[in-house]
Amino acid sequence: MSASNEPERLNQEGFAAFSQRAGDDSPVVMLNLLAFQPDGGQKRYEEYGAAVAPLLEKVGGRIVFVGAPATALLGDDSWDMVALVEYPTRQAFLDMIASTEYQAVGHLRTEALVKGELHPMDAGEVPTVA
């Protein structure tokens, strides 16, 4: 993702694959990687967060973790904030972003960011080490 006029470009293939699994009953955790606009981006994102909080609650979602990462030990990308948001199902996420309430405030996220990534994650088995 480049720091251009498109801070968040929808990955059509990824979104289609996510949507095809909308019938799954298992929870999904969304990894949010966020780099803010230099002048007021973080404040704008806080406005987005406040506006989305009741919508998240309405679909049964919850914020699992929010933090500011330190300098990367591996990799080159730099992020201002990382957030993990859990949804009870993929359909809950899709319902939230399709709602008229979300459509009215979703622009705040885009306006706040230089770049952003959103990665859905399923729970997995932690391998045991012998």
pTM for this predicted structure: 0.84
Residues facing 28 on adjacent strands: 87
Q: What's the pLDDT at 12?
A: 87
What is the CATH class of 26-121?
alpha beta
Q: Where are the domains of the chain?
A: 26-121
Cα 11 to chain center, whole Å?
13
46-75 per-position pLDDT tens digit = 999 999 999 999 999 999 999 999 888 898
Separation between Cα atoms, residue 67 and residue 78, nearest integer Å: 13
